Every structure is written in C-alpha cells, then in structure tokens.
Amino acid sequence: MFSKKADLSNNPKLDTERIPAHIAIIMDGNGRWAQARHLPRVAGHKQGMQTVKTVTMAASDLGVKVLTLYAFSTENWKRPNDEVSYLMQLPIRFFKTFVPDLVAHNVRVMVMGDISRLPGATQQAVKDAITDTSKCTGMILNFALNYGSRDEIVRAVKSIATEVQTGQLSPNNITEQTVSDHLMSSPLGSLADPDLLIRTSGEERISNFLLWQIAYSEFVFTDTYWPDFDGQALQKAIIEFQGRHRRFGGLKNN
C-alpha cells in the first residue's frame, strides 16, 4: 500500500525541488457548493473544514513551509447571524479534532487577524491550538481569522506613527522593511510574502487579503469550489506556478 506522501510526490509533472515556500489560499465557494446540492450554506462550511484538513496534510507532505488560509474576513461579519455563528464555532470543532494530527505532522498553528472580536470559546480554542503546537518545527499553518488587509495596514500605520511620536523612530528611517515588520505577517519573517496565491470558486479578486504581501505573488484561480479542492488540485496549482517565470521587475535570465 502506498503512503499518502508517496502518492503526492508521484506526479511526474511536479518538481518536488521547487515547491513554493509560502502558499496562501482564498478558500471560496462553500456556499455555492452547498446550494448546488440543495443543502444549507453551512453544510458547505462543514465540508470546507474537511478540505482544510486534507489540504494541510497535502501541503505539509509536499514540503510547503507556510500555508496561509483565509478563513474569515473583516467583511464576513455582514453575513446573516446564524451563518456567522456557525463560522465562529468551526475553529473549535476543527482544532478539537485535528490538533493531535497537526502535532503528529509537526505542523505549527499561527493566526493573523483580530481574534479579540471572536466569541470567548473560539478565542480559547485558537489560543490553545497555538500553544499546543508551539514546539512544532515543520510547516506553519497560518489562519487569517477576522483578517482584513486594510485593517492590518491601518494598524501598522498607527503603530509606526506612535513610534515616531514617541521619538523611537525617525520618519527618514521608515523603509519597506519597517512596514513589513508592523504587519500581522511579521512573525513569518522572510517567509511573510506568499509565492503562490490560490483562489477557488471562479472568483478572480483579492477581497482584502494580504495586499502588501502579494506584491510579487503568482496567482492561480480555479473554478473548483473549496469543498471539492484536494491534494491533487493543490499539486495542479503548484505545477502551474512552476511553469511561470518570476522576474520581480528584472529580466527573465538575471
């Protein structure tokens, strides 16, 4: 019997030496997946949670260093109360059933976003998952939870302004690195910027995700709804990434 790991590296088109270090995913299409099955939207979120587990393991097996998943945006509070409540319960269920597997795979949980607005039990589940996996040295599973990039940038600007006001920082010394260091992705250090950004469900927009960090990310859009996404789909996106020429403003061969 082949292990899952062997299955995943089996695709001859995939260059296992050139796996993107940081993959970010806008997990979209849960509601439409459910509606297509005449199910309530929350059934899509439930199935989407299973996909998070599958894709986390697939990414970890492939040697991805950071997997950032957009789970709840600062704009998602606009949804009906019952849907928001369901989404707020999901991290509790997710971590309760999945933290032992994460530890077994040496995966460390981190979070970007203002979790202080989440219900107490959700905050606790998130904090426990961060603590319980804090010694893991493998892939970082980074959830964007109550995250919005404009909110992130406003907070960074406020914090930089305060440092200037108190004399800790001179405006002349503000660099791109200063800005990066004040964003919610700063704990990721040199891995803060995604190499590959994937959005599922056919929508081709950013929806307030990682505006600063995606300056030179490669984008892959797929029509697949998030609950149908899997390890094979992840490999397909990585193969597409591997066919791109990243120039960062320079020329192809320099």
Q: Which of 7, 11, 76, 228 is catalytic?
A: 76
Q: Provide, rounded to whole angstroms, the least separation between the CB of residue 145 and ligand IPE.
A: 9
Q: At what angle are helices 231-242 and 41-62 packed, to 10 degrees?
A: 60
Tokens of 120: 């107490």
- 173 is a catalytic site residue: no
- Nearer to ligand IPE among residue 160 and residue 199 (C-beta): 199
Tokens 């996106």 correspond to: 237
The verdict on whether residue 41 carries a ligand-binding annotation is yes
237: left (phi > 0), else alpha (psi -120 to 50), else beta? alpha
Residue 80 CA neighbour count, 13 Å, CB half: 6
28 binds Mg ion (CB under 5 A): yes
Distances (CA, A) of 127 to 30, 71, 85, 116: 26, 16, 19, 11
Q: What single-letter DSSP state applies at residue 182? A: T
Given a contact cutoff of 8 angstroms between Cβ atoms, the answer to whether 30 and 44 are in contact is yes
- Element at 178 (helix H, strand E): helix 176-181
Q: Give, in degrees to the nearest 5, the angle at Cα 39 between 25 and 144.
A: 20
Site string for ligand IPE, 175-214 (x = CB under 6 A): --------------------------x-x-x-x-------
Tokens of 196: 């590959």
Instruction: Indicate which single residue of 62, 72, 109, 236 sits in contact with ligand IPE (rule: CB under 6 A).
Output: 72
* CB closest to ligand IPE, residue no: 31
Name the one range near Mg ion by CB under 5 A: 20-28, 115-123, 127-135, 232-240: 20-28
Name the one range near Mg ion by CB under 5 A: 27-35, 168-176, 183-191, 208-216: 27-35
Instruction: Indicate which single residue of 42, 57, 67, 70 sits in contact with ligand IPE (rule: CB under 6 A).
Output: 70
Q: Pick what 87 binds: ligand IPE, Mg ion, none; C-beta below 5 to 8 Å, kind-dependent.
A: ligand IPE
Residue type, 34: A
Instruction: Indicate which single residue of 8, 20, 28, 99 sits in contact with ligand IPE (rule: CB under 6 A).
Output: 28
Tokens 């697939």 correspond to: 58
Cα–Cα distance for residue pair 218/242, rounded to 1 Å: 10
- 28 is a catalytic site residue: yes
Query: Which residues contact Mg ion by CB under 5 A?
Result: 28
Binding-site residue set for substrate: 29-33, 41, 45, 73-75, 77, 79, 199, 205-207
Binding-site residue set for Mg(2+): 28, 218
Query: Which residues contact ligand IPE by CB under 6 A?
Result: 26-32, 70-73, 76, 87, 201, 203, 205, 207
